[in-house]
Structure 1
Amino acid sequence: MRSNIVFSLFFSLIWTGSMMAGLAAESSIVVDVETGIVLLSDNPDEKRQVASLTKVATILVTLKWLDENKGTDEVEIVVSAEAVSGGVNPLKFEEGDCLSLRSAMLAAMMASDNTSAYAIAEFVGSRLRKEASESGAVSRFVAKMNHEAAALRLSDTRFVNPHGLDEGSDLGESTAADMAMLAIEAIKHPQFLALCRESEATIKVTRRGRGRNMTIKNTNQLVGSRGIDGVKTGTTRRSGPCLMATAVSEVSGSGRLVSVVLNAEDRFRETVLLLNRGWEVYRKSREEGAPETNRSLLIAPN
């Protein structure tokens, strides 16, 4: 039986302010995945818009739904008119396009495609149990996303759509700390990193009866370097540039960190700095052990 503890301990370590020099992100955090130790952070609990980092929750809910229902990600989904008109459509999907659920997940994670995320929500949401307060498939899916957030004790997180776009005055929000916790939960799923670790992938889309291959590129420019193998970029006018990343140690081959930067103008450079300094603190914490003061427990059921 898997442990009910997402993190046994979520420590805050006190390090010199110089470790955060050169980082202009509004909020940032780097966490040791194995222990839950917060290695470095700045404004980690400040509520902000997180843009397409939202899609990590969309994919996690989908993967868990597949597990619970013994489903296959090769099932075909159809892009609706609502999905196409729901926001920025970088891959230029059209109404009636057909693709596998896995291809849609790859498009949402790697290319940050909003149409794919919406189509996933329609497909899965239409198969979720309907509650009285949830009028449509996407509403049911978003409710499931928020249920997942509550189960993980992401108390400062609220999702309003499956893609993270700013829609009117009703805005979703989260924090760097909550997004780090979400990333760690997602990484635990054996299929998750396969959806975001490559620099590019090929998906098949059927349009008006004719299949064609589409090459998609990862918006996360850091994958494949410095041990980084995920996870997600995000940008809207309100959120600013955001990046959630994870990396394994290139020195020892063991150990994994998760980092999050929110509203970071140079998110890739700042993530590299944050992870480099995170590994420095990681090695120090492993050598000296975590302090017994200034710590908190975050326990969430699985």
Structure 2
Amino acid sequence: MKEKRISRKRRRQIVLLRNVSLTLALILVLGIILIRVVFINGRTLDVSAGYRIEVHNGAAELSEFRLASAEGFAQSLVACEDEVGKDLVKLSNETEKKLLFNIDQQEAVCAEGIYERIYPASLTKIMTALLCLESGDLERNVVMTEEDFNLGDGAQVSQLDVGDSVSLGDLLNLVLVYSSNDASKAVARTVGGSVDNFVNMMNQKAQSLGMTGTHFANPHGLHEENHYTTLYDIYLMMNYAYKLPGFSEAASKSSTEIHVSPSDGNPYTFIANSTDEYFTGIYSLPQNVTVLASKTGTTDEAGSCLSLVVQSNYGVKYIAVVTGAQNKEDLYTDMSAVLNLINT
């Protein structure tokens, strides 16, 4: 009897050990699956189908895991194919591209040509501004130099002159509100130590944000062949920038007051108006849509471009981008059609 009791006890121990082993194995398997879901798929970022890095950057050697775990790829990013809801809005001409992402729910509402290489024009200044906010002292006084105005014919410049002293914060406002190219160069050399080093900072930041289809060659966006981006990368940049303290405040102004201390006269102020024609009242926003941040861009090669962070009447935030319009009327007509999708 004693031997039978011992035998039953041993059998119970073996069964218990086997159950524990099976439980641990199941936990391990589930853990591996969970890790894959978190680091590869995230909440909405299906990298293999959505980002398609190999399509627009020739980087097919990057694995899904490396791409998804790269710095800057947060779980809250929107992922989609090159075209989503293309027929929801018909653009005015074939050079245009569009994007509308619900960034609160990480959903693509519409997209067209968002991984194709484009010239960004002054949408470049989104990166210039965010680096100014992250790495600059906005109270610092900056003296304008002759090199700041070495921009070529027709470039948009402010009322500043060589020798004028102005705060870095006011230069930031000129960059985002008035799209001033002289202010952009002054920000670059002040924050980066030199314009060339600042451009290196821009490209490093772009990499950290996952902007694999982007290369910056200057801080202002005036045309250069090796200065390019994609609509998806503009989304990544704007999605990061608008969350920085001070960015939306500057990028939602209809005008800005600039305080100047000239080298040979009395201090004065001037008003610079926004280049966004929604803000100036030339064009009207769709009903129940509010702009939280805006950046315009225009060159002959890029066409007319606009990137917005907007909010619906229910507080839902979206990023909208339209590029390549042949004129301002097409740009704002098509952007309004894109924004109208928020109400439907």
Superposed pair shares fold, TM > 0.5: yes
Assess if the C-alpha contact under 8 Å between 2:156 and 2:179 holds in 1. no
Is 1:216 the equivalent of 2:272? yes
- Report deviation, 1:210: 2.0
1:257 to 314, 318, 325: 318
Assess if the C-alpha contact under 8 Å between 2:84 and 2:112 holds in 1. no
Distance 1:9 1:110, change over 3 A: closer
Distance 1:16 1:198, change over 3 A: closer
Q: Secondary structure at the match of 2:294?
A: strand
- Cα deviation, 1:237-282, whole Å, max 9, x if unaligned, reads 11111111111112x1x111111111123211211111111443xx
Question: Which letter does structure 2 place at the counterpart of 1:95?
Answer: V
- Cα deviation, 1:181-201, whole Å, max 9, x if unaligned, reads 110100111210011111112
Residues 87-96 or 174-183, more deviating: 87-96
Other-structure match for 2:117: 47
Other-structure match for 1:86: 151
Distance 1:273 1:237, change over 3 A: same
Q: Distance between the aligned counterparts of 2:162 and 2:189, measured in 1?
A: 13
Question: Which letter does structure 2 place at the counterpart of 1:257?
Answer: Y
Judging by fraction of residues, say which structure has more helix. Answer: 2
Q: Distance between the aligned counterparts of 1:36 and 1:223, measured in 2?
A: 27
- Cα deviation, 1:147-193, whole Å, max 9, x if unaligned, reads 000000100011000000014xx430001111011101001112100
Q: Secondary structure at the match of 1:210?
A: coil
Q: Distance between the aligned counterparts of 2:106 and 2:268, measured in 1?
A: 44
Q: Distance between the aligned counterparts of 1:17 and 1:101, measured in 2?
A: 41
1:174 to 208, 221, 229: 229
- Cα deviation, 1:28-51, whole Å, max 9, x if unaligned, reads 111112233221011011101010
Residues 225-234 or 186-195, more deviating: 225-234
Q: Distance between the aligned counterparts of 1:178 and 1:143, measured in 2?
A: 17
Q: Distance between the aligned counterparts of 2:218 and 2:91, measured in 1?
A: 33
- Report deviation, 1:96: 0.9
Task: Report how many residues are paired.
Answer: 259
1:118 to 172, 181, 185: 185
Q: Distance between the aligned counterparts of 2:307 and 2:86, measured in 1?
A: 22
Residues 198-207 or 146-155, more deviating: 198-207
- Report deviation, 1:16: 5.1
Q: Distance between the aligned counterparts of 2:108 and 2:185, measured in 1?
A: 33
- Report deviation, 1:85: 1.6
Other-structure match for 2:208: 151
Other-structure match for 2:25: none
Assess if the C-alpha contact under 8 Å between 2:189 and 2:198 holds in 1. yes
Greater C-alpha radius of gyration = 2
Q: Distance between the aligned counterparts of 1:63 and 1:279, measured in 2?
A: 33
Q: Distance between the aligned counterparts of 2:305 and 2:291, measured in 1?
A: 16
Distance 1:4 1:123, change over 3 A: closer
Other-structure match for 1:12: 80
Question: Which letter does structure 2 place at the counterpart of 1:230?
Answer: A
Q: Distance between the aligned counterparts of 1:41 and 1:7, measured in 2?
A: 20
Assess if the C-alpha contact under 8 Å between 2:73 and 2:209 holds in 1. no
1:201 to 246, 251, 256: 256
Assess if the C-alpha contact under 8 Å between 1:7 and 1:35 holds in 2. no
After TM superposition, the score normalised by the length of structure 2 is 0.71
Q: Secondary structure at the match of 2:267?
A: strand
- Report deviation, 1:223: 3.5
Q: Secondary structure at the match of 1:247?
A: strand
Runs of 4+ more than 4 Å apart: 13-17
Q: Distance between the aligned counterparts of 1:79 and 1:209, measured in 2?
A: 15
Assess if the C-alpha contact under 8 Å between 1:111 and 1:217 holds in 2. yes
Other-structure match for 1:272: 336
Q: Secondary structure at the match of 1:222?
A: coil
Calculate the aligned-residue CA RMSD, in Å. 2.0
After TM superposition, the score normalised by the length of structure 1 is 0.80
Q: Distance between the aligned counterparts of 1:7 and 1:154, measured in 2?
A: 16
Is 1:247 the equivalent of 2:247? no
Q: % of aligned pairs identical?
A: 26
- Cα deviation, 1:213-256, whole Å, max 9, x if unaligned, reads 11010001123853013210001111111111111112x1x111
Is 1:73 the equivalent of 2:113? no
Using CA pairs under 8 Å that are at least 6 residues apart, name the structure with larger relative contact order, 1 or 2.
1
Assess if the C-alpha contact under 8 Å between 2:128 and 2:219 holds in 1. yes
Q: Distance between the aligned counterparts of 1:171 and 1:247, measured in 2?
A: 30
Other-structure match for 2:241: 186
Q: Distance between the aligned counterparts of 1:142 and 1:83, measured in 2?
A: 15
